[in-house]
Amino acid sequence: MIRNYAPFSTILLLVSILSGCSLLPEQIDMTKDWSANRFYFKAHEAMVSGNYEKAIENFEKLQARFPYDKHAMQAQIETIYTYYRWGEPESAIAAADRFIKQHPRHPSVDYVYYMRGLVHYNQGQTLLSKVAPTDSSMRDPKAMREAFHYFSKLVERFPQSRYSDDARKRMVFTRNMLAKHELHVALFYMERDAYVAASKRANYVIENFQKTPAVKEALLLLVDIYSRMGMEELAADTQRVYNHNYSQQVSVTE
């Protein structure tokens, strides 16, 4: 009886395959002996140069290996900014929330509040809106509301913060956008002859967004709404309010 034996070289190959990667060199961790200072320097260097993925990797290793080092605390703060610049708003928000919860009295917590607001402020700036800009007041106002909330917290808790002045300016813009959004909704209802719903939105603008440009338009819209609904007395009263505040005479029937 003739038996076929596999060549010795083939047997060796099979053994090496079955034993996994034992014949391959092990992957070497180049950061194994790094100090906290070196981790921070390399992460910060990567962040500044725009290599955000590498920056996040080193910031996270720093925090894992040296959780009580002073650089680890700074790494938490810079991780927020890095995620923000990397276009990962949800991760930036999560990192900011975690820092605020764990270190509410940290000297740099004002910056974290500012970044928390800024992430939401810019969250609506999608790729499409950058290519073909649109009125930001037409977008979902949730992000703007969150931005206003955290900017206002910053200004309230840290009025002398170096970031508060910019936050105040952004709050003005954000408030104007929120008011315009409500006005857009009122006009949406108006176009569909839903006058009651439109009047509620217009009144909401007047009551909650005083001193914004949208109030002037909301008053004129209310004059038109009340006229179409046959509520001439309310239309005339609203017209008088408009004339008193804006010194313009506009006919109720226009």
Interval 38-91: pLDDT, tens: 999 999 999 999 999 999 999 999 999 999 999 999 999 999 999 999 999 999
Residues in contact with 189: Cβ distance below 8 Å, sequence separation at least 6, in sequence order: 195, 197, 198, 201
What is residue 226's predicted lDDT score, i.e. its pLDDT? 97
What is residue 254's predicted lDDT score, i.e. its pLDDT? 45
**How far apart are the C-alpha atoms of 150 and 153, rounded to whole Å?**
5
Among residues 79, 86, 90, 29, the alpha carbon closest in space to that of 56 is found at 79
Structure-token match 């949730």, residue found: 142
Task: Please give the model's pTM, rounded to 2 decimal places.
Answer: 0.78
Summarised one tens digit per residue, pLDDT across range 82-116 is: 999 999 999 999 999 999 999 999 999 999 999 99
| 106-120, 138-152, 209-223: least confidently modelled range | 138-152
What is residue 141's predicted lDDT score, i.e. its pLDDT? 85
Does domain 35-100 sit in CATH 1.25.40? yes
Average pLDDT on 131-139 reads: 56
pLDDT at 32 over 90: no
